[in-house]
Structure 1
Amino acid sequence: MQRAALVAFGARPGQLGSWPLARLFHAGLRLLATNKELLLRLRKKTGYSFMNCRKALETFGNDFKQAEVWLHKQAQKEGWSKASKLQGRKAKEGLIGVLQEGNAAVMVEVNCETDFVARNARFHQLVQQVAVGIMAHHQDAGKQLTTYVKRFLKAEDLSQLRTVPEGRLLSDQVALAIGKLGENMVLRRAAWVAVPSGCYVGSYVHGILPTDGPSMIKVALGKYGALVICEALANSPGTNLVDMGRKLGQHVVGMAPLSLGTLDDEPGGDTETKMLAQPFLLEPNLSLGQVSLLLRGAGHTRGQRTPTAARRESSDE
C-alpha cells in the first residue's frame, strides 16, 4: 500500500524511508483533481489565461466566485490601461452587426485595427453585446407606434449604454476586449428603427461571417449592412414584406443611395444617388421605383465597416 502511494506521488519504491508517512496517506490526489477541475471551469467561463486563473484560485482558496470576480476586476484595470495607450491608433477594420427583434432592428458598427481581430470570436461577442444593449435600451420606445421611428447613436452615446443582462457599461466591455486582443477598438455608430403594425424592417448583411455558439445566432455579422423600412399598400395585401425587405436591403448595400427620392424622379444625372430612381440591383431593366409600385418605401440606413475620407454616411430619410 505504501509503495503504491509513493508511485502515485512520483517517487520510486526504494525511497520509502525518505518520505514522511503523513504524505503517504494524504488526500492530495483528490485535492489536486478538484483544483484542476476548478481551473478548467474558470478558464472556460472567463477565457483568461491558465496562469491568471490559477493565481485567482490560489489567492481565494479555490473559491470559484471570488476568483471570477477578481479576474474580471484585474482584466478591467489592465484593459483600461491598455486602451489608454492604444487610443491614438487608427481602427479602420471591424464589423457591422444587425439584430432584428419583432418590429425593431439595430445596426451597429464596431471598429478594430486588423481583419485578423475582426474575425476573432471575442470581437464577435463584443459586437453582439453592443447590438443587444442598444435593443434593450430602446425597448419601451418601440411599443404602440403609429409611425416608424429612427434613432442614430454616435460613439459617446453608445459608450454609456449597458450590456444585458449583466448591466455593464459598453465602454468597459470595449476596454476588456482591448486588454484581451491587444488592438484599439471603437464603438463607431449605430442605428435603431422600429415600425408600427403593417410595416416591416428589412435587413441585409453582406460578407456575412460564421459565428460560434447558439448565443451568436441572432446577430448577423458582416462587412456591409442595411436596414429598410417598408409598408405594403392597402391594394397589395399579398406583398411578401420579408422577402422584399431583404431584396431592398441588398439593393441599398450594392447601390449606396443617399436619399429615397420620389416616384417622379427620372434615372440618371442628379438622381443617381436617389434610391427610387436607381436601376434595381436584382432587375436592372427596371428602376427601383417601378419595382416598388406595390410597396411604400419609408426609408433606409446603410452601414459600411471601414471609415474613409470619402465615406457615405447613413441616410436620415
Structure 2
Amino acid sequence: MAVSVLFRCLRTELNKVSFQKHIECLHTSCGLFAADKALLVKLRKSTGYTFINCKKALEKFNNDITQAESWLHEQAQKEGWSKASKLEGRRAKEGLIGLLMKDNAAVMVEVNCETDFVARNEKFQQLVQNVALATMAHHQSKTPSAYIKSLLSSEDLSKLAMVEGPSVADQLALTIGRLGEKISLRRAVSIAVPADWHIGSYVHGAVTGQTSLPMGHYGALVVFQGGPEGQVEVVGKRLGQHIVGESPLMLGNMEDIPCGESETRLLAQNFLLDPKYTVGQYLAQQNARVLDFVRYKCGERSTEEAE
C-alpha cells in the first residue's frame, strides 16, 4: 500500500515538471518554434501551397526553405500531370486572352480554364504571361523585310521553352497541380512587321492582376500602314476596339459598300466609334490602310469543334 502511494506521488511530480516545462516554452517562445513559424509563413506566401504541404516540406528538409520549395514544385508538377489526364474530358471555356507588344512584333495567346474564379487567380495569370513571353522569344527575329504571321496550336505551344525555368508544358502541369482544375493552352498568333508598318492592339474585359501583361476576355491585333503623325497608337486602338465589337470575318476592299446588319467585311462595316462612316472611309480620313487583323474571343469554338 505504501509503495503504491509512493508511485502515485512520483508520477504526479513528474507530470508537474513536464507541464511546467511546457508552460515555460510557451512563455519564452522557444527559438525552434518561432523559426519554424517564420519559415512556414514565408514559404506559404511565396508559393501559394497549402499550410499543411508547406509544413510537410519544411519538416522533410529540416527547415531548408530552398529545398522545400523545390520539392513542393516537383510534387505539384507530378500531381498536375496526373490531374491533366483525369480532367481531359472536361471542357475549359473560361480563361484569358493575353497581348504582348515589343518593337515591331506582337503576340496574342489564349489560355483556358474551367471557371472564372481560376482565371482571376494570380498563378493562372502568371501562366498566361509566361506563355506569351515564350511565344515572343520563340518567334522574335531581326527587323523583318516582309510581313510575318505565325499561328500556333495547343501542341505547338506545349513544345515551347520558357525564357527561364521549366518548359511551357511543365509550367502548365505545375499550374494544374496548384489550382486543381483543367487548364489548356488553346492557341496563339505571332506577328512581325517591317519598320514602316504598325500593329494596333486592344483587350476588352481587362482584368486587374499582378502581371504587367494586358489580359481580358476579348483581344484584337490589327496590322496597318499610314496614320496621322503622333496618332498611330490611337488609330490602332480604335481599330482594335471596332474589330472586337463588330466581329469582322474578312478584310474586304476600301470601296466596299455595307450590305446590311450582317456585314462581315471589315472595311464595309459602319465604324463602331463613328457609325456615320464605314471603316474604309475612316481609314481614308486618317490616310491609313489596314492589311490584316486577328480577333480572339475567349472560349469560342471553331467550326471543327462545333461539329
Q: TM-score, normalised by structure 2?
A: 0.86
Deviation at 1:103, TM superposition (A): 1.6
Secondary structure of the 1:285 match is coil
Work out the CA distance in 2 between the residues paired with 1:36 and 1:199.
56
Seen in structure 2, the aligned counterparts of structure 1 residues 158 and 18 have a Cα distance that, compared at 3 Å, is closer
Number of matched residues?
289
Q: Is the 8 A contact 2:99 2:219 kept in 1?
A: yes
Give the letter for the 2:126 counterpart. Answer: Q
Give the letter for the 1:34 counterpart. Answer: A
Seen in structure 2, the aligned counterparts of structure 1 residues 163 and 224 have a Cα distance that, compared at 3 Å, is same
Matched, 1:228 2:219: no
Unpaired segments ≥5 residues, structure 1: 1-13, 313-317
**Structure-to-structure mapping, 1:266-277, within 5 angstroms:** 266-268=257-259, 272-277=263-268
2:160 match? 161
Deviation at 1:82, TM superposition (A): 0.9
Secondary structure of the 1:283 match is coil
Q: Is the 8 A contact 1:230 1:241 kept in 2?
A: no
1:152 match? 151
Seen in structure 2, the aligned counterparts of structure 1 residues 162 and 20 have a Cα distance that, compared at 3 Å, is same
2:289 match? 296
Work out the CA distance in 1 between the residues paired with 2:58 and 2:118.
29
Runs of 4+ deviating beyond 6 Å: none
Q: Deviations over 1:115-163 (max 9, x none)?
A: 2222222221211111111111122x2x221222111100000011122
Secondary structure of the 1:252 match is helix
Unpaired segments ≥5 residues, structure 2: 1-13
Matched, 1:308 2:301: yes
Equivalent pairs: percent with the same residue?
51
Secondary structure of the 2:182 match is coil
Task: Choose which of 233, 237, 250 in structure 1 pairs with 2:241.
Answer: 250
Work out the CA distance in 2 between the residues paired with 1:69 and 1:112.
25
Secondary structure of the 2:249 match is coil
Q: Which entry has the higher C-alpha Rg, 1 or 2?
A: 2
Seen in structure 2, the aligned counterparts of structure 1 residues 265 and 250 have a Cα distance that, compared at 3 Å, is same
Matched, 1:136 2:129: no
Secondary structure of the 2:69 match is helix
Q: TM-score, normalised by structure 1?
A: 0.83
Work out the CA distance in 2 between the residues paired with 1:308 and 1:183.
20
Task: Choose which of 172, 175, 178 in structure 2 pairs with 1:180.
Answer: 178
Deviation at 1:19, TM superposition (A): 7.2
